[in-house]
């Protein structure tokens, strides 16, 4: 009877072990995007680092977050990569071409973190990266809605989705920084 109790306890531990469950969660590392310079980039390039994916726009009230995104990237680049995905899906606030967007980001905010080419983050023509980020059936974690520019998605070192943050959560908010202290 004691042997049975030990076996039962061991089985329960294995079943409820969150590490085993998270290993089954899909990874974004199988996807790629096109950089703002036209170069294809595999997200597997960032294995071993957390990834913060942000849909960005140059003419939005949240555009000054570029400064904090760059600061976050500078402070934590050994463990985090920030990737900006410019999109014109909300109020036409990213009207420029890729070269204009890159020039704006470098000149006004000193952006050195990776940027993708301009994409679509919702609806028809949605980028595969944002399709994965917003659909639980693909990411294994949650359904999410990109409600506005500067929505943020944080992924762990294995490319598994950890959390999403609305536009008003700034890049240096404790809600994001807490994940970098783990």
For the annotated catalytic residues, the residue numbers are 108
Query: In whole angstroms, what is the distance from residue 79 CA to residue 128 CA?
Result: 24
Any long-range contacts for 100-103 (C-beta under 8 Å, 24+ apart)?
101/36, 101/58, 102/36, 102/37
- DSSP character for 45? G
Residue 152 pairs in a beta bridge with 54, 165
Any long-range contacts for 96-99 (C-beta under 8 Å, 24+ apart)?
96/58, 98/36, 98/37, 98/38
Query: In whole angstroms, what is the distance from residue 50 CA to residue 77 CA?
Result: 9
């Amino acid at each position: 009877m004691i042997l049975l109790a030990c076996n039962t306890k061991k089985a329960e531990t294995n079943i409820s072990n969150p590490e085993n469950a998270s290993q089954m969660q899909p990874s974004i590392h199988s996807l790629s995007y096109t950089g703002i310079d036209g170069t294809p980039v595999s997200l597997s390039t960032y294995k071993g680092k957390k990834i913060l994916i942000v849909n960005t726009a140059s003419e939005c009230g949240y555009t000054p977050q570029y400064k904090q995104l760059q600061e976050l990237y500078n402070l934590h680049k050994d463990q985090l990569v920030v990737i900006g995905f410019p999109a014109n899906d909300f109020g036409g606030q990213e009207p420029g071409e890729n070269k204009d967007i890159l020039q704006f980001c470098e000149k006004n905010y000193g952006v050195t973190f990776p940027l993708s080419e301009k994409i679509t983050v919702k609806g028809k023509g949605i980028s595969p990266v944002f399709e994965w980020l917003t659909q639980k059936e693909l990411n294994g974690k949650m359904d999410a809605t990109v409600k506005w520019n500067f929505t943020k998605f944080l992924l762990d070192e294995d490319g598994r989705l950890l959390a999403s943050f609305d536009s008003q959560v700034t890049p240096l908010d404790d809600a994001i920084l807490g994940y970098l202290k783990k």
